[in-house]
Copies of this chain bind each other. A is one copy, B any other.
Amino acid sequence: MKALAPVFDHIDRNRRPFLDRLFDYLKRPSISARGEGIAETAEYIAGVLDRMGLETEILPTAGWPVVLARRSDRANGPTALLYGHYDVQPPDPLDAWISPPFEPTIRDGRIYARGVGDNKGQHFANLLAIESLLARFGELPCNVIVLLEGEEEIGSPRLARFVEEHRNLLAADLVVTSDGPVNETGRSCLVFGVRGVALFELRARGARSDLHSGNWGGVAPNPLWTLVHCLGTMKNASGEITIDGFYDDVLPPTPLERRALDELPYDVNEIKDRLGVDELDAPTDRSVADRLAAWPTLTINGLHGGYAGDGSKTVLPCEAVAKCDIRLVEGQTRDDVLSKVEDHVRQHAPGVEFVPLGGMDPSKTPLDSPFAEPIRRGIAEAQGEEPLIVPALGGSLPDYVFTKILGVPAFGVPYANPDEANHAPNENLEVERFFAGIRTGAAILTHLGAAVDKRGA
Contacts and interface: CB of A to CB of B under 8 A. Distances in A.
Interface of A: 155, 195, 197, 199, 206-208, 211-222, 224-225, 228-229, 231-232, 235-237, 239, 271, 275-277, 279-281, 283, 288, 291-292, 295, 297, 299-308, 311-317, 320, 322-323, 325, 327, 357-358, 393-396, 423
A224 B299 CA distance: 9
Count of identical protomers in the assembly: 2
A312 B306 contact: no
A231 B280 CA distance: 21
B276 A301 contact: no
Contacts of A396: 214, 314
Given A212-B395, A291-B219, A307-B302, A277 B207 contact: yes
A280 B351 CA distance: 12
A281 B317 contact: no
Given A214-B394, A229-B232, 4 more contacts: A218-B292, A222-B299, A229-B236, A311-B357
Given A220-B275, A276-B207, A277-B220, A301 B307 contact: yes
24 contacts: A195-B214, A197-B314, A207-B276, A211-B275, A212-B395, A212-B423, A214-B327, A215-B292, A218-B239, A218-B297, A219-B271, A219-B281, A221-B277, A221-B280, A225-B300, A300-B305, A301-B317, A303-B304, A303-B305, A303-B306, A304-B305, A311-B357, A312-B325, A312-B357
Contacts of A271: 219
Contact of A394 (B208, B217, B221): B217
Contacts of A283: 218
A130 B328 CA distance: 74
A303 B301 contact: no
Given A208-B276, A214-B327, A214-B394, A306 B313 contact: no
Nearest to A155: B312
A361 B129 CA distance: 75
Given A218-B297, A222-B281, A308 B312 contact: no
Nearest to A418: B215
A314 B292 contact: no
Most chain B CB atoms below 10 A, which of A279, A291, A292, A306: A306
Nearest to A184: B215
Contact of A305 (B207, B213, B280, B302): B302
Contact of A304 (B222, B299, B308, B312): B308
Given A228-B232, A279-B221, A199 B239 contact: no
Most chain B CB atoms below 10 A, which of A218, A222, A297, A320: A218
Contacts of A281: 218-222, 225
Contacts of A155: 312
B302 A323 contact: no
A323 B307 contact: yes
Contacts of A395: 212, 214-215
Nearest to A280: B219
A393 to B, nearest CB: 7
Nearest to A207: B275
Contacts of A325: 213, 217, 312, 314
Contacts of A222: 281, 299-300
A303 to B, nearest CB: 5
Contacts of A237: 229
A308 B300 CA distance: 11
A130 to B, nearest CB: 30
Contacts of A317: 300-302
A6 to B, nearest CB: 38
A118 to B, nearest CB: 12
Closest 3 CB pairs of A and B: A214-B395, A302-B306, A302-B307
A306 to B, nearest CB: 3
A303 B320 contact: yes
Contacts of A197: 214, 314
Contacts of A221: 277, 279-281
